[in-house]
Amino acid sequence: MYKIFVTCKRYSNNKDNYMIKKVLSSLCLLCILGCGENNLPANCLLQFPVSLNTDLNNPQLINAQTPGGFVNLIGGAKGILLFNINGSQFVAFDKLCPQNNCTEPMTFERGTVLKCSCDESEYSVHFGGAPQTEGYECPAREYKVSKNGSAIRISNF
């Protein structure tokens, strides 16, 4: 009787270990399959390297020191718009039109949107560059902004 109990106990542990391994393997597989480099449609702009360091104490950035303020910077494909959301959070967008067929940089209008002059499409600064014009899928190219004191670093995500 003792031998049967021990054998059943061993079988039970192996079965539990098997289930744990199966669950962990499934989770790993889901993570690998769920990861993607880009969820954007194929015709959207591809990312290229950007690394820009500047300081808010620079007189050229005086407009970006207050909430709702912005400044145009040299960099990116057609220039970079740095926007102060609330005094401590900043966003930055490339001024290249997302449809990639415009030679002019986008303009910043009404304090909330980037506008492409070639096709009149608009992109929200407050919603990650999301298109605000019906029929457009590609967002404006957003960059990561890090603030440390008065130092600002703009780079790819």
Residues 6+ apart with CB under 8 A from 124: 112, 113, 130, 131, 132
Domain count along the chain: 2
Please tell me the predicted confidence (pLDDT) of residue 13. 57
Are 140 and 70 within one domain?
Answer: yes
**Greater confidence, 1 or 45?**
45
Please tell me the predicted confidence (pLDDT) of residue 157. 74
Please tell me the predicted confidence (pLDDT) of residue 9. 52
CB 86 within 8 A of CB 67: yes
Please tell me the predicted confidence (pLDDT) of residue 142. 93
d(CA 44, CA 146): 25
Are 97 and 147 within one domain?
Answer: yes
pLDDT tens figures, 24-48: 555 544 444 444 444 556 667 667 7
> Does the pLDDT value for residue 63 go beyond 70?
yes
Please tell me the predicted confidence (pLDDT) of residue 17. 65
What is the mean pLDDT of the segment spanning 108-127?
Answer: 90
Q: What is the CATH number of the domain that holds 147?
A: 2.102.10.10
Are 77 and 29 within one domain?
Answer: no
Query: Is residue 45 assigned to a domain?
Result: no
User: For the whole prediction, is pTM greater than 0.85?
Assistant: no
Are 77 and 150 within one domain?
Answer: yes
d(CA 122, CA 131): 6
Are 56 and 23 within one domain?
Answer: no
Angle, vertex CA 68, rays to CA 64 and CA 71, nearest 5: 30
In the sheet where 113-115 sits, what is the strand order? Answer: 107-109, 113-115, 122-124
Please tell me the predicted confidence (pLDDT) of residue 111. 84
Are 23 and 76 within one domain?
Answer: no
Query: Is residue 27 assigned to a domain?
Result: yes
Domain that holds residue 6: 1-35
Are 102 and 141 within one domain?
Answer: yes
Query: Is residue 41 assigned to a domain?
Result: no
What is the mean pLDDT of the segment spanning 69-85?
Answer: 92
Are 62 and 96 within one domain?
Answer: yes
Query: Is residue 74 assigned to a domain?
Result: yes
Query: Is residue 73 assigned to a domain?
Result: yes
pLDDT band at 143 (very low <50, low <70, confident <90, very high): very high
Strands 151-155 and 142-148: antiparallel
Query: Is residue 43 assigned to a domain?
Result: no
